[in-house]
Structure 1
Amino acid sequence: MDRIAVAVPRLSGKEKAYVNEALDSTWISSRGPFIERFEAQVAAMAGVKHAIACNNGTTSLHLAMVGLGLGAGDEVIMPSLTYIATANCVRYCNASPVFVDNDPRTFNIDPERIEQAITPRTKGIVVVHLYGQSADMAPIMAIAARYGLWVIEDAAEAHGARYRGAPVGGIGHCGSFSFFGNKIITTGEGGAVTTNDDELAARMRLLRSQGMSAERRYWHPVVGFNYRMTNLTAAIGVAQMERLDEALARRVEIAATYDQALAGLVDMIDLPFTAIDCEHSFWMYTIMLKPHVGTSRDEVMARMDADGVETRPVFYPVNDMPPYYDASVDAPNARLCAAQGINLPTHESLSADDITRVGETLRRALNS
C-alpha cells in the first residue's frame, strides 16, 4: 500500500509551459515578465496595491522588518507558537522578540496577552496566521493604533485565508508570504511582501535588489540584500496562482471529509476550530489529543508512520529552543499545543479513501 505523505505539491496547471516559455525567452534570472505577473497576482490575493516577490518566505519577512525600520534595541511582540524564522528575522535586525501565548483553539496569538507585553522599546507586532487560519486581527490592530506600533502579518501558511471578509496579508502594515514546496501555492522556494504603503513598497524594492537605485544603475544609496525572485521561479508561481480558488476550495472539501472521517474519535481528539470571523484555508488539518489520552503524541505519530501515514508535530514554542532560552515567558497554551498537536496529511491529491485510511490509522494508533 502506498505511503500517504503529509504534504505534496499540486503541479497540475501550466507550470511546465510557463517555465519553458521563460527558458525560451532567456530571461532566467531576476528580471522578466513572469515576476511582474506573479507580483500582481499576489497583490490581488492580499487585496493590496503592492507585492514584492522574494527568494523565500524568510527573506520576505526580514525585508518587511528592515523596511519598517526595525533595529538594535527594539522589541517585537510575536507568538511563542510559530516557526522559528519569525523570531530569527527579528534577531537578524539586532532586535529582540518578545513572546506571548496563543489561543489553544486556533493556535494563534492571544490578543489579550499582547498589551501587557508592550514596553517603551516595542516597535511592532508580528501576527502569525498559523496553519491557514487568521489571527483575531481587529483587537490587534486596535492595540497597535493605540500604541503607535506597526503590524506585520506572517501569512506564510495562510494563502487565501480571510478575516471578516478581508484577505490576510492586507490587514496589517505589511504581509509576508512563503511559497515553499509544501505551501498551498508553491514556487519551490519563494516569498513575497505585501503592502498598501507606496513609500514602504519603494523602500523594500530598493533593499531587495542590493540597494541599487531604480533611476541610476549600479548606484547604491543604501546597503541592501539580494532577496530577488527569478523569472523561472515566478513562472511556476503564475501557473499556481491561476488555480488558487480551486486549491482553496479543495482544501475546504478535504477538511470537511476529515471532519466526517474523524467524528467517531472526538472523545479522544479535538478537531480543528474555525473562529466565527475567519475563513480557514486549511494549509494543515490539525488535531489535538485530549489530555486524558494515555498515549503520547509522539508515540501516536510513530505508530501512524509505521502504518504508512506521515504526520507532522505542531511547532514547538520558540522560547523553549536553545537560541531563545533567554526569552523568559509563561506560555502554557503553546506548550500544550506543542505536546498534543498533530498535523495530518493535507494536500489536494488526497482522495476520500486516503482520508478514511488516515482516520483508521489514527484510531489504531490511539487504541494500540
Structure 2
Amino acid sequence: MKKELKSKKYNFIPVNKPLITSEDLNYLNKSISKGWVSSEGPEVKRFENNFSNFIGNKYSVAVSSGTAALEIAIKSLKLKKGDEVIIPNFTIISNAMAVLKEGLNIKLVDCNIKDWNMDIIEIEKKITKKTKAIIATHIYNFPLRVDILKKICRKNKIILVEDAAEVIGQKLNNKLCGSYGDISIFSFYANKQITTGEGGMITTNSKKLYKQSKSLRNLCFGKQDRFNHEDIGWNYRMTNLQASLGVSQLKRIRSIVGRRHRVGNEYFQKLKDNKNIYIPETTRSYAKNIYWVIAFVITNKNLKIDGKKLMKMLLKYGIQTRPFFWPMHKQKVFKEKYKINTSGKYKNSEYISKYGLYLPSSLDIKSNQIKFICNKVNSILK
C-alpha cells in the first residue's frame, strides 16, 4: 500500500459541495440588479410562503441559520427557568446550546444503534413533571419516529420541537418531516438538500409562536415605538439574496431528494456485503433513507481501525470524509463551563461516535467516483 500511495496521485473528492445551477444564478442576479440584497426584500416573504406550502404548515419564518432557528424556537416557547427539555445525546451541539441559553435544564437520551435517532422507550423513561419540551432531531438517514413521539407528547402535555435540519423533503408515513412538530426547524447550510449558503427556517401552525419567532429574529422592535424593544432578540434575519437562492432550489426539491436516494443506493449496493461495517438500508416500512450523508459504522473492533484512523487512510487516496457527532455527555464545554448532569450510560452514542464516519455525497458525484471510494473502503476494512 505504501508504494502505491507514493507513486500515484489521486484526484480529490470533497465530502460535499453544493450544486448551484444557472437558474439559481438567474434568481440571484435578478435580486442584485433590483438592489434587493438585505433582509428587506420580496424574496424573503416569497421563500417563506413557498416553504409553508411545501411543508403544509400555516406559517414560516426565514432566519440566518439552523442554529438561529433552534434558539428562536426554544425561546418562543417562553418556558420557565429550571424547566426540563429532553434532547438527543447524539446530535449537533446546537440542540443543547439553544436550551442552555434560556436557563433550562437538559435531559439526555441515548440513540438506537440501528438508526442513530433517540430511543423512544428511553424518552418515555426520562419524562418527569418538569419535562416541558422535547427536541426531536432526525439524524443522518432515517427519521425519528415523531409520529409515535407526538402521541406521547400530547399525553404528557409536552411541546414537540422537531429538528428537521437534515431531512428536508423526507417523508415519514407519507407525511413530510417538519410537519409533525408544534414548532419545527430546518437548515439550509451548504451540505443540506437545498442551500442558501447559510440559512434556516422555522415553521408552525401556531399564530402565537409565529409572531414570537418573527419578533425574536429581528431584535424585538417595539410595535408603537420601533426602538423601544419589547424583549431580548437577535439579528437572525435571512437576506433577500439567500432567499432568492432558496426559492430557486426549493422548486427542484423532489428531484434533489430522488438524486440523493439514488446516490445512497449506489453506495449501499457496493458496501452492504462488507461484514465489518453497518450501513443503513435504503428503505424501511415507514420511510425511505434520505441519505443526507452516506454514513456507516465500523463493527469489527478486531481490525483496530476506528473512524479517525479510517478517515486518515481514505484521505491519502484523495477521499475527504467527516466524523460522526461527538456525544453531548462527553462535550468539553459542558464539563468545564456549564454545570449540567452528564452522568449516565450512553454506550450507543459513544460507540458510533468512535467508529462512524460519512463519505462524499455531492449531488453531482459520479458513479466511477462512488465505485472508487467503495473499493478503497472495502479493501481497507476486509
The bucket for the TM-score relative to the shorter chain is: over 0.9
Whichever residue aligns with residue 305 of structure 1, its letter is: L
1:62-81 Cα shifts (integer Å, max 9, x gaps): 10001111342121101100
CA distance in 1, matches of 2:302, 2:204: 44
Work out whether 1:353 is the aligned partner of 2:376.
no
Q: 1:322 to 1:4 in 2, by over 3 A?
A: same
Q: Which residue of 2 aligns with 1:272?
A: 280
Aligned to 2:381, the other structure's residue is in SS state helix
CA distance in 1, matches of 2:381, 2:300: 13
Q: With structure 1 as the length reference, what TM-score do the two structures score?
A: 0.95
CA distance in 2, matches of 1:217, 1:112: 48
Any stretches of 5+ residues in structure 2 without a counterpart? 1-9, 336-340
CA contact (8 A) 2:217 2:234 kept: yes
1:208-237 Cα shifts (integer Å, max 9, x gaps): 111125676445333322111110111111
Aligned to 1:130, the other structure's residue is in SS state coil
1:244 is matched with which residue: 240, 253, 260? 253
Q: 1:260 to 1:118 in 2, by over 3 A?
A: same
CA RMSD of superposed structures (Å): 1.6
1:148-203 Cα shifts (integer Å, max 9, x gaps): 10011111111111111111111010111111111111111101111111121112
Q: 1:81 to 1:275 in 2, by over 3 A?
A: farther
CA distance in 1, matches of 2:156, 2:354: 34
User: Alpha-carbon deviation of 1:291?
Assistant: 3.2
CA contact (8 A) 1:297 1:340 kept: yes
CA distance in 2, matches of 1:13, 1:47: 28
CA contact (8 A) 1:13 1:243 kept: no
CA distance in 2, matches of 1:170, 1:131: 18
Q: 1:341 to 1:204 in 2, by over 3 A?
A: same
Aligned to 2:194, the other structure's residue is in SS state coil
Whichever residue aligns with residue 356 of structure 2, its letter is: G
CA distance in 2, matches of 1:100, 1:151: 15
Q: With structure 2 as the length reference, what TM-score do the two structures score?
A: 0.92
Q: Which residue of 1 aligns with 2:217?
A: 208
Work out whether 1:163 is the aligned partner of 2:172.
yes
Whichever residue aligns with residue 41 of structure 2, its letter is: G
Q: Which residue of 2 aligns with 1:311?
A: 321
**5 Å matches for 1:70-219?**
70-213=79-222, 217-219=226-228
Instruction: Pick which of 44-53 and 142-151 moved more.
Output: 44-53
1:1-57 Cα shifts (integer Å, max 9, x gaps): 321111110112422212221112112111111101111222233221111000111
Work out whether 1:341 is the aligned partner of 2:356.
yes
1:322 is matched with which residue: 316, 329, 332? 332
CA distance in 2, matches of 1:204, 1:53: 10
CA distance in 2, matches of 1:216, 1:19: 34
1:40 is matched with which residue: 45, 49, 69? 49
Instruction: Pick which of 153-162 and 358-367 moved more.
Output: 358-367
Aligned to 1:14, the other structure's residue is in SS state helix
CA distance in 1, matches of 2:221, 2:250: 29
CA distance in 1, matches of 2:150, 2:285: 18
**5 Å matches for 1:19-34?**
19-34=28-43
Q: 1:196 to 1:271 in 2, by over 3 A?
A: same
Whichever residue aligns with residue 269 of structure 1, its letter is: I
Q: Which residue of 1 aligns with 2:338?
A: none
Instruction: Pick which of 311-320 and 41-50 moved more.
Output: 41-50
CA distance in 1, matches of 2:250, 2:224: 31
Q: Which residue of 2 aligns with 1:53?
A: 62
CA distance in 2, matches of 1:280, 1:75: 31
Taking every aligned residue pair, what percent have the same amino acid on both sides?
A: 30
CA distance in 1, matches of 2:186, 2:302: 36
